[in-house]
Amino acid sequence: MDEHVTIRPWRAEDRPRLVELWKTGFDDSEDYIRNYHALFLRPDHCLVAEADGRVVSAMYIMNGPLMFPPSGQSLSTAYTYALATDPAYRGRGIGTAVYKACVASALEWAHAVCVLPSEPGLYPFYEKAAGCVPVSFIREAVIPRAQITGAIRENAVSISAGEYYLRRKALLRGQPYAVMSPTLLSLETLHMRRFGGGMLDLDGDIAAVELDGDTCRVLELLAPEGDWADVLASVAARFPAERYAVRTPLFYPGPGEVRPFMLGALSPDIREPLPDELWWGFAFD
């Protein structure tokens, strides 16, 4: 990285530039970015790189979910998010340096510093940059609408982030999983609604959904009794699409192949290996 680049915490006067940078890297609305800033932008929760008198790269640090492995020991997490670098300054290692600085900062207070790569090709980058390892796996399938044959549940209803939080916590109790706070879920709800989705209670089972063109992304489907096909049919009845990309935890029945999901740089204070079946759920992807 260029020796004339300085990495530092963000300052109040950086806010407009932070919005500009975010929009260069992600297809998010300005309202979403400003809502994120209002909820999560704290003095030590964003690092920037400054070069030539301006901010050219930034990444955010969030207080992430608590992870509960089988032992019951709660593990705090930080979540690194929205790494963006000015196009004119890419390819110089600046973004990598910002990410590594965020990890080092967050490991001072978190057991694990997690990141969700936006595409499969980026997993090696984060693994190499900060020694990240998979901390959560998912089962995932893409199912054409014509192949969905479950029974539709007529009493499926949309629910709020607070209601979803309570249902989710009850369904995952006793399993290795990450507990999403109501605040995290409320921001995710804004993201889902922007893409025409939402959170559903389907006769006791739950699903979190967003639309992406001709695809309905079922970011989380929790059906402990194995009726995932009925839940998916009920989702399809409310959200018509050509295909459904479905994610389920390894410890509940579901379709598809297993793959790594969340990556994390781990603190040496973690005294046990994290199980592959630890369920993170959806996370701002």
- The backbone torsions φ and ψ at residue 123, rounded to the nearest 5 degrees and listed phi first, read -60, -45
Letter for the amino acid at 212?
Answer: D
Name the pLDDT band for 72 (thresholds 50, 70, 90): low
Residue 272 in this model has a pLDDT that exceeds 80: no
Question: Are the C-beta atoms of residues 168 and 160 closer than 8 Å to each other?
Answer: no
Helix (H) or strand (E) holding 36: helix 30-40
Fold adopted by 6-136+261-266:
Aminopeptidase (3.40.630)
Q: Which among 275, 140, 272 is positioned nearest to 217, based on CA atoms? A: 140
* pLDDT at position 180: 83
| Separation between Cα atoms, residue 140 and residue 261, nearest integer Å | 10
Token digits of residue 93: 């290692």
> Which residue has 């549940």 as its token pair?
153
Lay out the sheet containing 6-9: strands in order across.
6-9, 46-51, 54-63, 77-85, 112-115, 263-266, 133-134
Running DSSP on this structure, what letter comes out for residue 1?
Answer: -
The predicted model scores a pTM of 0.85
Strand residue runs (E) in 90-225: 112-115, 133-134, 137-144, 156-158, 177-179, 198-202, 205-212, 215-222
| Separation between Cα atoms, residue 185 and residue 267, nearest integer Å | 26
Question: What is the percentage of the chain residues whose pLDDT exceeds 70?
Answer: 97
Residues of the chain with CATH 3.40.630.30: 6-136+261-266, 139-258
Helix (H) or strand (E) holding 81: strand 77-85
| Separation between Cα atoms, residue 211 and residue 102, nearest integer Å | 31
* pLDDT at position 214: 95
pLDDT in tens, 220-268: 999 999 899 999 999 999 999 999 999 999 999 999 999 999 999 999 8
- Is 144 exposed, middle or buried (CB count within 10 Å of its CB: 0-12, 13-18, 19+)? exposed
* pLDDT at position 145: 97
CATH class of 139-258: alpha beta
Handedness of CA 271, 277, 281, 283 (dihedral sign): positive
| Separation between Cα atoms, residue 52 and residue 212, nearest integer Å | 38
pLDDT in tens, 253-265: 999 999 999 999 9
Dihedral of CA atoms 183, 191, 154, 141 in degrees, nearest 10, equals: -110
